[in-house]
Every structure is written in structure tokens, then in C-alpha cells.
């Protein structure tokens, strides 16, 4: 089986997935459009891009070269796995070519590509408050983009895949030739646990927002200032910090604070858990039943965050125990090799469905 992953390396998930598939015997390759960072780039080619407005000739030549590269790679593949609901070429030429080849194809949505503000706000007051700060024209544009993402891929015969429970509310699985779910994947050998010292005299609390507004950083900073009046601890805000340095600090922290707006966790929570840390994150009530019963994420919202963090600061043994359960959880549910085997079954099903469809003469 030859599997091609394209084109956006969200949270290094293309590079992680390709490596894991290759480890379990699949001939997997990834080609990335743009100057995307990769986490250990085995089997990954990065295709640089530039602004076609500012560098018209160079941009045109790069675009043509990218299209040629895509065509060759798609002809090579048995399965095309597209990450993120955006196209890289005008007139959707990239995914149209995949459809023209009639290859088994699947799009994996990752969040902001399909998150629809009205749906996201319906059961989440913190997300609603975040969107209320945006002009109506911006919100309308986000909604149109999210809906068009599904329309363009479903119309061209893609199956769809999601990796987080939150996305189920946004994706209309009836549109697609198949609908699947796997969890985010991690190479756990790269995250050596360092469990929190239950007797730490000054526990270290870390918050590492990629986007301060979407992570609820203002709330986090207010809570930290409030708790500093009554408790002894250290705090580090990691924003704009090089990834390897950020991971080094997370590995030695005692409490990790992730996001308090979206209502679901991302890779940052999982990385902290893989290091054996208690991770505090807002999981909105409607999603709690979607998680395995052994999920040890410490659930907190913007209204009770101070009390939740205080409980962890005063109970070192609890921090340590949650950290151990957190590592066990990601080993059980997010190991890249286990999920690679789940993906193989999905690919095999797509190949079989595609074979049947072509035999019937369907398009």
C-alpha cells in the first residue's frame, strides 16, 4: 500500500503519521506546501512557497512546479490522505486532479478549517464571548469558509476523517463517501516522563498559548495574579518560545494550563500528559461523555479555574498521581503506531469501496 499525505502539517501530524505508517510497513510519504516545520522529517518533503503578489514570476514558477510534483505523487499513491480543508492551487486544481485519478481519497479536518461560529457558540459561553469580539463580517466569512471546506471535498468524492470529538458537531458526515474517527497521534518515545515531585516547595505552573485569545490567556494571567497573593509557586508563560525550549520547560513543570475557550483539548495537552503532568483544560460539558472514562484531564472553565489550580497547588501527591494516570492515558489512546494500524484498516476499506464503485461504473 502506497499512501500520500498532503499538504498541511498541522501540529506535525503529517510527519508523525507518515513515520508511524512506515514503521508498521506502509510505503507512506508526505509532501508539504509552504515552509512548514516538521518533527523528524523521515519520508517528508517540504515544498517552499512565496507570495505570488510580491514575487509574481517566482511564485508562478513555484506553483507550476508544485502542481507537477503533486500530479506525480498522486499517480504514485494508492491512497491520498489530505490534511486540513484548504486547497493549495487556484480553482481547486490539486484536489480536482485527485478526483480525476479516481484514487481512494480522504480529507482530515483539524479544527479551524471547519469550526462554525454559530454551532461552536451554541453550548459554549466562552467561545461565544470570544466570537462576540469579532466583527460580524469576519464571523460570516469564517462560517462560509468552514462550510465551503466540506462542500469542496465532499463534491469531489472524498471520505472524511476527524481526530477530536468537538469536530463531530461541525462535519456533516452524510455528505461524504465515508466518515471515520481516529485520535491525535504521538511518538511517545520522544516524551520521556518526568513526574511531578509531590514535595516541590515551589511548584512550577506553565501556560503555553499558540494564540492567546483562543487559549484564554487573559483569564489565566488574572488567576495567576490572584493565587500569588496566597500561595508560593512559579509561573512561566511560554509564547513565541522555540519549540524545543518550550518542551524542555513543560517537561519539568508541575501543572500545565492549556486552553479555556474552545472546549476541547489539543496536542499541547497531550504533550504535557505524555511528560507525566496534570493538564488543566476546558472540556465543555457536551463533550465529556465522548471521552474514555479513564481520561485524567483536569477539567476547568474560566469561572472556576482559580479554585481548580489552587487544589493542585496545595496537593502535591494529587499532582503526582494525575501525572502518572496522564502518561498511561496517552499510551493507551494516542500511540502513533496503534493509530497507524487503525488508519491502515480505514485505507483498506477506502480501497475496497473505490474498487466496488469503479466496477459499478459510478463516479
Q: Are 157 and 105 in contact (CB under 8 A)?
A: yes
Q: Annotate 110-141 with DSSP letters as a single string.
A: -STTT--HHHHHHT-HHHHHHHHTS-HHHHHH
Say how far residue 50 (Cα) sits from the centre of its chain. 25
- Calculate Rg over the CA atoms of the chain: 22
Strands 105-109 and 204-207, sheet pairing: unpaired
Over residues 13-25, mean pLDDT: 95
What is the arrangement of strands in the sheet containing 204-207, beginning at the earlier edge strand? 234-237, 204-207, 255-257, 279-281, 298-299
For residue 32, pLDDT beyond 60: yes
For residue 350, pLDDT beyond 60: yes
Q: Are 185 and 20 in contact (CB under 8 A)?
A: yes
How does residue 39 score in pLDDT terms, banded at 50, 70 and 90?
very low
What is the pTM for the complete model shown? 0.92
Q: Quick one: pLDDT at residue 42?
A: 61
Kindly list the distances between the CA atom of residue 101 and the CA atoms of 156, 329, 358, in Å, as whole numbers in the listed order: 11, 40, 11
Half-sphere exposure of 218 (CA within 13 A, CB side): 6
pLDDT in tens, 135-183: 999 999 999 999 999 999 999 999 999 998 999 999 999 999 999 999 9
pLDDT in tens, 330-340: 999 999 999 99
Q: What percent of the chain has pLDDT over 70?
A: 94
C-alpha cell at 60: 508562478
pLDDT in tens, 70-101: 999 999 999 999 999 999 998 999 999 999 99
- Who contacts 23 (Cβ-Cβ below 8 Å, separation ≥6)? 337, 340
Q: Quick one: pLDDT at residue 224?
A: 98
Amino acid at each position: 500500500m502506497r499512501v500520500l499525505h498532503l499538504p498541511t502539517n498541522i501540529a506535525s501530524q503529517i510527519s508523525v503519521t507518515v513515520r508511524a505508517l512506515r514503521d508498521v510497513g506502509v510505503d507512506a510519504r508526505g509532501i508539504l506546501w509552504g515552509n512548514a516545520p516538521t518533527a523528524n522529517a523521515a519520508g517528508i518533503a517540504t515544498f517552499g512557497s512565496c507570495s505570488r503578489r510580491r514575487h509574481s514570476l517566482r511564485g508562478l514558477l513555484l506553483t507550476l512546479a508544485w502542481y507537477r510534483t503533486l500530479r506525480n505523487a498522486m499517480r504514485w499513491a494508492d491512497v491520498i490522505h489530505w490534511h486540513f480543508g484548504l486547497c493549495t492551487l487556484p480553482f481547486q486544481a490539486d484536489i480536482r486532479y485527485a478526483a480525476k485519478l479516481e484514487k481512494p481519497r480522504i480529507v482530515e479536518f483539524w479544527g479551524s478549517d471547519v469550526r462554525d461560529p454559530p454551532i461552536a457558540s451554541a453550548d459554549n459561553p466562552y467561545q461565544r464571548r470570544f466570537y462576540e469580539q469579532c466583527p460580524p463580517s469576519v464571523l460570516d466569512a469564517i462560517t462560509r469558509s468552514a462550510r465551503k471546506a466540506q462542500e469542496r471535498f465532499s463534491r469531489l468524492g472524498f471520505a472524511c476523517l476527524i481526530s477530536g470529538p468537538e469536530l463531530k458537531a461541525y462535519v456533516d458526515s452524510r455528505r461524504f463517501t465515508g466518515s471515520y474517527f481516529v485520535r491525535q497521534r504521538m511518538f511517545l518515545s520522544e516524551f520521556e516522563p518526568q513526574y511531578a515531585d509531590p514535595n516541590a516547595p515551589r511548584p512550577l505552573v506553565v501556560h503555553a498559548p499558540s494564540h492567546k485569545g483562543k487559549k484564554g490567556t487573559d483569564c489565566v494571567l488574572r488567576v495567576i495574579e490572584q493565587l500569588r497573593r496566597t500561595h508560593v509557586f512559579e509561573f512561566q508563560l511560554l509564547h513565541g518560545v522555540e519549540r524545543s525550549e518550550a518542551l524542555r520547560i513543560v517537561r519539568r513543570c508541575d501543572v500545565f494550563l492549556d486552553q479555556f475557550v474552545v472546549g476541547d483539548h489539543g496536542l499541547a495537552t497531550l504533550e504535557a500528559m505524555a511528560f507525566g503532568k496534570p493538564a488543566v483544560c476546558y472540556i465543555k460539558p457536551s463533550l465529556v461523555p465522548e471521552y474514555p472514562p479513564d481520561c485524567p484531564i483536569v477539567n476547568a472553565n474560566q469561572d472556576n479555574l482559580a479554585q481548580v489550580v489552587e487544589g493542585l497547588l496545595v496537593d502535591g501527591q494529587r499532582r503526582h498521581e494525575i501525572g502518572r494516570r496522564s502518561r498511561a492515558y496517552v499510551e493507551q489512546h494516542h500511540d502513533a503506531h496503534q493509530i497507524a494500524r487503525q488508519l491502515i484498516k480505514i485505507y483498506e476499506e477506502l480501497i475496497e469501496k473505490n474498487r466496488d464503485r469503479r466496477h459499478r461504473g459510478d463516479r
